[in-house]
Amino acid sequence: MFTYANSKPQADELVSGIQKDGGRVLAIRADSADAAATRNAVVETVKAFGGFDILVNNAGIAVVQPIESFSLEEFDRTFAINVRAVFVASQEAARRMKDGGWIIAIGSVNADRMPFSGGSVYAMSKAAVAGLTRGLARDLGPRGITVNCVQPGPVDTDMNPDEGEFADGLKKLMALPRYGRADEIAGMVAYLASPEAAFVTGVCLTIDGGFAA
């Protein structure tokens, strides 16, 4: 199962591809800023598949503004999506996930390093995800559920494209002067959701091309 907010054509394309490969898939339209919709997505997944083993909290937004002009509305929406949604989905998952499952959040290297102005609130939200990860690992460890966070650096996405307005400046800060790819981030997520990572919990693994080196 995966959720999407607005990109129905892309969601339909992904569903079609998975089904062609013989997989079962459920796509649910849900705004991560809506706590009820987030909870419902977990509930509907359990109804459709009888349970689940892995939760990946992947939704996020980035508003870059000077602190003097950062509105409370932007602040609240940033935390609703980047932090509260992670808590809500993880809480609902913990209630329904079998022992020995995996919870993974997508954070950001900006939780540890913010080298440009205007990103204070975004960095704050991702630092909160890192703290929540460590706390949940303690809460759920007795059940054999691991909780970890992946902290990407600049990655070629719709939100921050490789040829976007920030790209040249960010590449100059990196040991590898290129953006990461989505499949590279997915590889680390797959590792954390594998038996090989059964003894890894409560950590934030950075994959950033040397952005924080």
In this prediction, residues 1-14 reach a mean pLDDT of 86
Catalytic residue among 4, 122, 179, 191: 122
Q: Mean pLDDT over all residues of the chain?
A: 94
> Does the active-site annotation cover 122?
yes
Rounded distance between C-alpha atoms, residue 83 and residue 79, angstroms: 5
- Does pLDDT of 136 surpass 90? yes
Q: Decide the pairing of beta strands 204-207 and 102-106.
A: unpaired
3-state class percentages of the chain: helix first, strand second, coil last, to nearest 5: 50, 15, 40
**End-to-end CA distance of the chain, in Å?**
35
Q: How far apart are CA 104 and CA 87, in angstroms?
A: 12
Residue spans per domain, the chain: 52-207
39-94 residue pLDDT tens: 999 999 999 999 889 999 999 999 999 999 999 999 999 999 999 999 999 999 99
CATH top class, domain 52-207: alpha beta
